[in-house]
């Protein structure tokens, strides 16, 4: 009898029912075929991998593209799922028009704030019945230099208080959905320290932030991961914040590794990956009073944004299901504990 006997029938969302929501990042294509079946069996939360980003949902002034978002919303409602809204203010995937006036010069502060308000109001109103939290600001913290805040058009035009302003606008229109600040590497000491500082200051001046999203784009070779993660969760909890794991995937490559020769992951990699998933989910369960949602950044290894990042054209295998949608070792390890 295989060691997986019995575990095959288990469902992630059922196994974790008393812990936290289990989410996946999706495109409309994922609502069909094998991915649909996986979503229905294992997940109770969805994030739109791209469709809600500013450049997709609001490509031109006065024109919104709601169609793919509505499809996913309807699928979520039909199947009792919630949506993690992603994202309003980000330095990437935001169209140029937001920052330009009618003459094509840099727009004044008031115009940019007004546009953000209209955008947040429109999107919040349309999806209020299904969205349980919003990534209000994504990736605002600088990670290359000693500086705290990243340079961006949002910051340059609105000023250093742009984060507070974005949360205040979201608070006004989000109708009770939780408001999150989301970033990557924010469990690593160098960025944890900066993030703690920024969030503490924001909270002290009354910014309505409910939680922090730890993106969790991790890999199987990081020996400090578990200790960093625990420290980060405790640090954020000390500020009274909820924690969401928002974009979990566990690459088989170290970030610096540029190798391009692999046609499939090695057995050693798959075992290390299973162990890493097992270890991080153990931490998630341990902190279930702080962590309220865990989202995988994709469904299966058939397609993942890691296929092109950080090495363009290289395949990666960072998720819980293989390229055919079959469960990997890693899935079984987090279903049985
Ligand atoms: C996320 N960014 C986004 O939140 C999500 O919306 C998107 O779909 C995928 C990933 C992760 C990310 C962050 C930084 C980055 C690339 C991706 O760029 C660098 C990271 C480290 C060092 C240098 C650049």
Residue nearest to atom 13 of ligand 1 (CA): 184
Is the C-alpha dihedral spanning 137, 141, 144, 147 positive or negative?
A: positive
Q: Name the 3-class secondary structure at 294.
A: strand
How much of the chain, in percent, has pLDDT values that exceed 70? 99
Could you tell me the two tokens for 175? 């109708």
Cα separation, 263 vs 266, in Å, equals 9
| Protein residue whose Cα sits closest to atom 18 of ligand 1 | 310
Chain centroid to CA 224: how far?
Answer: 21
Catalytically annotated residues: 139, 247
Mean of the pLDDT values across residues 93-121?
98
Share of the chain above pLDDT 90, in %: 97
Token readout for 92 is: 């990437």
Q: What is the mean pLDDT of residues 126-155?
A: 97
Residue 265 near residue 317, CB atoms below 8 Å: yes
Closest atom of ligand 1 to CA, residue 49: 8
Q: What is the mean pLDDT of residues 286-299?
A: 98
Helix/strand/coil (H/E/C) assignment for every residue in 152-175: CHHHHHHCCCHHHHHHHHHHHHCC
The Å distance, Cα 92 to ligand 1 centre, comes to 9
> How far away, in angstroms, is 296 Cα from ligand 1 center?
15
Tens digits of residue pLDDT in 142-196: 998 999 999 999 999 999 999 999 999 999 999 999 999 999 999 999 999 999 9
pTM: 0.97
Distance 161 CA to ligand 1 centre (A): 23
**What would the pLDDT profile of 232-268 be if each residue is shown by its tens digit?**
999 999 999 999 999 999 999 999 999 999 999 999 9
- Cβ(46)–Cβ(85) below 8 Å: no
Q: How far is CA 12 from CA 131, 294, 319, 335, in A?
A: 21, 11, 14, 6
Model confidence at 5, pLDDT cuts 50, 70, 90, reads low
pLDDT reported for residue 6: 86
pLDDT band of 1, cuts 50, 70, 90: very low
Largest CA distance in the chain: 72
Ligand 1 atom at shortest distance from the alpha carbon of 182: 4
Residue 9 CA, ligand 1 centroid: distance in Å: 34
Tell which one of 184, 254, 296 to mutate to probe ligand 1, the residue whose CB is within 8 A of the most ligand atoms. 184
Please tell me the distance between residue 119's alpha carbon and the centre of ligand 1 in angstroms: 23
**pLDDT, mean over the chain:** 97
pLDDT at residue 4 in the model = 61
Per-residue pLDDT tens over the stretch 18-73: 999 999 999 999 999 999 999 999 999 999 999 999 999 999 999 999 999 999 99
Atom of ligand 1 nearest to the CA of 255: 21
Mutate to test the pocket of ligand 1, among 57, 137, 247 (most ligand atoms within 8 A of CB): 247
Structure tokens at 235: 């640090």
Ligand 1, CB cutoff 6 Å, lining residues: 49, 138, 184, 215, 217, 247, 305
Ligand 1: atom nearest CA of 50 is 8
Mean pLDDT, range 273-300, rounded to an integer: 98
């Amino acid at each position: 009898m295989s060691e997986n006997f019995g575990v095959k029938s288990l469902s992630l969302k059922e196994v974790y029912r008393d812990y936290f929501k289990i989410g996946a990042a999706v495109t409309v294509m994922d609502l069909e075929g094998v991915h649909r079946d996986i979503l229905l069996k294992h997940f109770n939360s969805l994030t739109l991998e791209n469709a809600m980003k500013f450049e997709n949902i609001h490509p031109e002034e006065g024109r919104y593209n709601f169609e793919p978002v509505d499809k996913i919303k309807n699928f979520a409602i039909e199947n009792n799922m919630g949506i993690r809204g992603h994202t309003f203010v980000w330095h990437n995937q935001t169209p140029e028009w937001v920052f330009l006036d009618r003459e094509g010069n840099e727009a004044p502060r008031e115009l940019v704030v007004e546009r953000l308000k209209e955008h947040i109001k429109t999107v919040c109103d349309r999806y209020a019945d299904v969205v349980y939290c919003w990534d209000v600001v994504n990736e605002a913290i600088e990670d290359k230099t000693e500086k705290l805040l990243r340079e961006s058009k949002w910051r340059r035009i609105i000023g250093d208080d742009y984060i507070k302003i974005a949360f205040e606008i979201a608070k006004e229109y989000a109708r009770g959905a939780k408001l999150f600040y989301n970033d990557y590497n924010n469990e690593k000491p160098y960025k944890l320290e900066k993030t703690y500082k920024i969030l503490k200051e924001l909270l002290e001046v009354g910014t309505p932030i409910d939680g922090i999203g730890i993106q969790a784009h991790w890999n199987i070779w990081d020996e400090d991961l578990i200790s960093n993660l625990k420290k980060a969760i405790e640090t954020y909890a000390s500020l009274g914040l909820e924690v969401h794991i928002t974009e979990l995937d566990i690459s088989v490559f170290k970030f610096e590794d540029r190798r391009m020769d692999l046609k499939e992951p090695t057995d050693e990699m798959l075992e290390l990956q299973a162990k890493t998933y097992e270890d991080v989910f153990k931490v998630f369960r341990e902190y279930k009073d702080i962590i309220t949602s865990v989202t995988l950044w994709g469904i299966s290894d058939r397609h993942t944004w890691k296929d092109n990042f950080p090495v363009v054209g290289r395949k990666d295998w960072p998720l819980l299901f293989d390229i055919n949608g079959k469960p990997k070792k890693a899935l079984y390890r987090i279903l049985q504990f």
